[in-house]
Amino acid sequence: MLAGEHPREMISAETMFTFIKFVCEKKENAAKRLLESNKFRIIVNANPNGRIQVEKGDYCKRSNLNDVDINRNWDYFFGKEITLFEENSGKSAFSEIETTFIRDAIKEFNAKLFLTMHSGTLALFHPYAYLTEEGRKFYIKLLIELKIILKINIF
Ligand SMILES: [Zn+2]
């Protein structure tokens, strides 16, 4: 699970802290079930230098210190479908230290599901159709748990 790629979306990192607190306190059965049947690797703040700039007053900062949007620095669709001036993909896929760190963390963990948290709209986006059947089942289960935990109407 990943949050904070876009530093101006401060609520995503804060929401991740809330999720961690919920799970670690184990006060509710949903938290206990999550820990019993899953392993998590969580990056709360994927763009710490960008976050520092936001906290210093650059409230609209979306990029890292190289002005690269690290959410556009992946090898999938690299450099394509760029619609905003601030969606700079970088020199090449994984040219940024933040993105290579995240990529390596995912590979090392052998993740079955990758969830990246963003904010700015009232929506929960998910990959189009890239999940295996096992991943799809896990994703549905996770959404149900998130619905309970966050007390929100996901679907
Ligand atoms: Zn974002």
Residue 131, pLDDT score: 58
pLDDT of residue 128: 44
Confidence (pTM): 0.75
Domains, the chain, in order of start with CATH, read: 2-150 (3.40.630.10)
Ligand 1 midpoint to CA 152 (Å):
20
pLDDT band at 100 (very low <50, low <70, confident <90, very high): very high
Greatest Cα-to-Cα distance within the chain, rounded to the nearest angstrom: 46
Q: How far apart are CA 47 and CA 43, in angstroms?
A: 10
As a whole number, the mean pLDDT across the chain is 85
- Give me ligand 1 centre to Cα 73, in Å: 13
Which tokens is 73 given? 């620095």
Higher pLDDT, 107 or 143: 107
Residues 6+ apart with CB under 8 A from 40: 1, 23
- Provide the pLDDT for residue 54: 96
Ligand 1: distance of its center to the CA of 28 in Å?
30
Tell me the percentage of the chain whose pLDDT exceeds 70. Answer: 86
Q: How far, in Å, is the centroid of ligand 1 from the Cα of 6?
A: 5
Burial 98-110 (b: 16+ CB within 10 A, else e): bbeebeeeeeeee
- State pLDDT tens for residues 48-77: 999 999 999 999 999 999 999 999 999 987
- Cα 9 to middle of ligand 1, angstroms: 6
pLDDT for position 125 = 56
Residue 26 has which token pair? 């184990």
Q: What is the pLDDT of residues 102-132, one digit of tens each?
A: 999 999 998 888 888 888 765 555 554 455 6
User: Whole-angstrom Cα distance, residue 153 to residue 144?
Assistant: 10
